[in-house]
Chain A
Amino acid sequence: MGAVVAIDALLQERRVWKGRPFAPVPGAQPTGHAALDAALPGGGWPQAALSELLLPCDGIGELRLLWPTLARLSQAGGRIVLVAPPYLPYAPAWQAAGIDLRRLLVAGGAATAPRDALWAAEQCLRSGSCAALLCWPLQADDRALRRLQVAAEAGAALAFATRPLAAARNPSPAALRIAIDAQPAQLRVLKCRGGLAPVRPIPWVVD
């Protein structure tokens, strides 16, 4: 214990592991929410990957979380597909959020069979002609999510799957998992590929 060892020497010998700030993952898509960007390893949504949003119930800000990204992508000419949304996407609000509605396609509705919805989501992602895809898989098992994740990689698209909060207990192949809490209003990053999930929840102020 008495010997004084220069820390430089230890580092040189690679006997001490030194934590470093993560290099930003190239190509990540900023979320448009500064606090969330700061917490995510790439400074945004993981590119060409599946992100999962876990909700206790509808209507607690899940769209406002995504709108800045969708607005940016659609104004840049990217196509956005909503596969089997649970309600009608209300055009005035989506337009007011800055989304170019000409770039938006709704495929199926709440009555669409879960199998068809998953099929459609996979087709869109794999096609390589969509910038972002939102889907609401009802009976998504591990295998279905993995297919979506692989398809998102193949088609280089942003995929968002909205699922009930109860699904948070099960592991998922998604690159990013965010739980939205209503009371208190906060975001919890449960998993993010390429970095450690932040311990603290992120306050989520919805206007």
Chain B
Amino acid sequence: MRWACLLLPHLAMDGVLRGFADPAAPRVLVAGPAQRRVLQAANPAARAQGLKPGQALAEARAVARGFAESECDPRELGQWQRLLAAWAYRYSSQVSLHGGNALLLEVAGSHGLFGPWPRFQARLRAELEELGFRHRIVLAPNPFAARALANAHDGLAVDADGLRAALARLPVQRAGFAAETAAAFARMGLRRLRQVLALPRAGIARRFPPAVLQHLDRLLGGEPALLEWYRPPDRFDARLELGYEVESSQALLFPLRRLTADLAAFLAGRDGGVQRFVLRLEHEGRADTALEVGLLAAERDPALLFEIARSRLERVQVPAAVRALALHADELPAFVPAHRGLFEPRVQQAVPWEQLRERLRARLGEDAVHGLRVHADHRPECAWRGESVAETARPTAPATTAPRPGWLLPGPIPLRGAVAQVLSGPERIETGWWDAADLRRDYYRLRTRLGQDAWAYRPAATGDKRGEGREGGWMLHGWFA
């Protein structure tokens, strides 16, 4: 067993910072009641101004100026932890959130897929960097040792032989004991874990609660690790508080990219795709704007998800300033990657047909993109159907043998201009009695003075409920183009 501990020392701060395009600007996290606001965390730029956690906000304002404040929300902390666990689930089936701001991964079984530890570790670091979280990574033979060693080290990898020596050097204060235990050890003059390990067990058992010996045993791997494993949920929820009012959809693109990248990382972790998700723009003092983003097939490519969400976002009029952005996905079907031939000739910048349709649907609207089908009905208005593009195999009805125009007007309109010639006709269409949309028309093919080839009708004397034509007037219904 080999355990990696991914310690996230600045989880709350990083989680907030990733909502902003300029994480280098000074920013502090504040919590506490209105009378006594206390700094919970400060980013490096804020620390450079002399701000540090534990300071009262009033004091901080006296010391420095020009720093931004964000509310420290414990619920958000849980959200970041779950996101990272979902991400880590891709690398190991045994992921635990046991150690506070840390992830514990069993990685012995993952080496076959992700290579030897140095390469695997580099990959973890690169992806954490990409997600925007500062981190320390330590590898050890058991999860408790990995967690304790991560308190003092970064990049350390110890095996079973080196474990005792590595633990012996660990300062007692950082070995993960309860605060009063650590204080008691300090009063006894014990600085390093080596000195604690050298104490007789009976003495420790007499002076300290049983948890202390148990912790020592766990660190050395004497006691098996019983951890609660993370299980990826069947839905994705993420929310990004913007901390300021955003009026333009351009300014929403950065947080949107974050959310879709998080969604993609989550999907990669559970090896799934997303078919439909909702983007929610939260406003101050009014109902949220919800944007439904639907896809034809399950997808999980971060660039594609971002592009589709973005084109959807750019099409809406945002009614008010946006305070927060949330993304929910309930439909998470299995993802089947499209397979491609190795030597398939592809045009430069080629986009697969399905992806092209998605793009068109996202920008033009879902109903505006459709196929065509012939419908067996004699009424010209009913002889065709728009077809959802998702369907591929459809039976084709036999077309009528009578000549039909290539263009049909959305509805008949009076034909303006003089008719030069009647080319053919009449063709009587009299049908539709069964659904109260019956019509009775005599269709002609006409040549207009301009040389156009028109399909027009005269309503037959009675019974046409749709023929709004005046007596004797031509109603234009299509063009033989």
Using a CB–CB distance below 8 Å, which chain A residues touch chain B?
56-64, 67, 79, 85-97, 101-102, 104-110, 112, 116, 119-120, 123-124, 126-130, 154-156, 182-183, 185, 206
A106 vs B349: C-alpha distance when bound (angstroms)? 23
Q: Are A94 and B406 closer than 8 Å at their CB atoms?
A: yes
Does B369 lie at the interface of the complex (its beta carbon under 8 Å from any beta carbon of A)? yes
Q: Are A105 and B481 closer than 8 Å at their CB atoms?
A: no
Does B357 lie at the interface of the complex (its beta carbon under 8 Å from any beta carbon of A)? yes
Does B472 lie at the interface of the complex (its beta carbon under 8 Å from any beta carbon of A)? no
Give chain B residues whose Cβ lies under 8 Å from the Cβ of A62: 481
Give chain B residues whose Cβ lies under 8 Å from the Cβ of A154: 347-349
A32 vs B284: C-alpha distance when bound (angstroms)? 62
Using a CB–CB distance below 8 Å, which chain B residues touch chain A?
346-353, 355-357, 359-360, 363-364, 368-375, 380, 383-386, 389, 392-394, 396, 399-400, 403-410, 448, 450-454, 478-481
B325 smallest CB distance to A (angstroms): 25
A73 vs B454: C-alpha distance when bound (angstroms)? 28
Q: A108-B364, A123-B360 are in contact. Are A129 and B407 (CB under 8 A)?
A: no
21 contacts between A and B (CB under 8 A): A60-B453, A86-B407, A90-B405, A92-B400, A94-B372, A95-B396, A101-B396, A102-B371, A102-B392, A106-B371, A106-B372, A107-B364, A108-B368, A110-B410, A124-B360, A126-B349, A126-B351, A127-B350, A127-B355, A129-B353, A182-B451
Q: A88-B384, A96-B404, A124-B356 are in contact. Are A119 and B371 (CB under 8 A)?
A: no
Give chain A residues whose Cβ lies under 8 Å from the Cβ of B409: 87-88
Q: Which residue of A lies closest to B391 (CB)?
A: A102
Q: Are B404 and A106 closer than 8 Å at their CB atoms?
A: no
Interface centre among A92, A95, A96, by most chain B C-beta atoms within 10 angstroms, is A92
Contacts A61-B453, A105-B371, A106-B369 aside, 11 further interface pairs with beta carbons under 8 A come to A57-B451, A59-B480, A86-B407, A87-B409, A90-B407, A91-B372, A94-B406, A107-B369, A127-B353, A129-B356, A182-B450
Give chain B residues whose Cβ lies under 8 Å from the Cβ of A90: 380, 383-384, 404-408, 478
Give chain B residues whose Cβ lies under 8 Å from the Cβ of A106: 369-372, 386
Q: A102-B394, A109-B368, A119-B363 are in contact. Are A92 and B347 (CB under 8 A)?
A: no
A86 vs B400: C-alpha distance when bound (angstroms)? 24
Give chain A residues whose Cβ lies under 8 Å from the Cβ of B407: 58-59, 63, 85-90
Q: Which 7 A-B pairs have the closest CB atoms?
A: A182-B451, A59-B479, A128-B347, A91-B384, A128-B350, A87-B407, A127-B351
Give chain A residues whose Cβ lies under 8 Å from the Cβ of B452: 57-60, 182
A67 vs B405: C-alpha distance when bound (angstroms)? 12
Give chain B residues whose Cβ lies under 8 Å from the Cβ of A88: 384, 407-410
Give chain A residues whose Cβ lies under 8 Å from the Cβ of B349: 126-128, 154-155
Interface centre among A57, A88, A93, A127, by most chain B C-beta atoms within 10 angstroms, is A93
Partner of A89, one of B363, B389, B406: B406
Q: Are B410 and A91 closer than 8 Å at their CB atoms?
A: no
B329 smallest CB distance to A (angstroms): 25
Q: Which residue of B lies closest to A96 (CB)?
A: B399
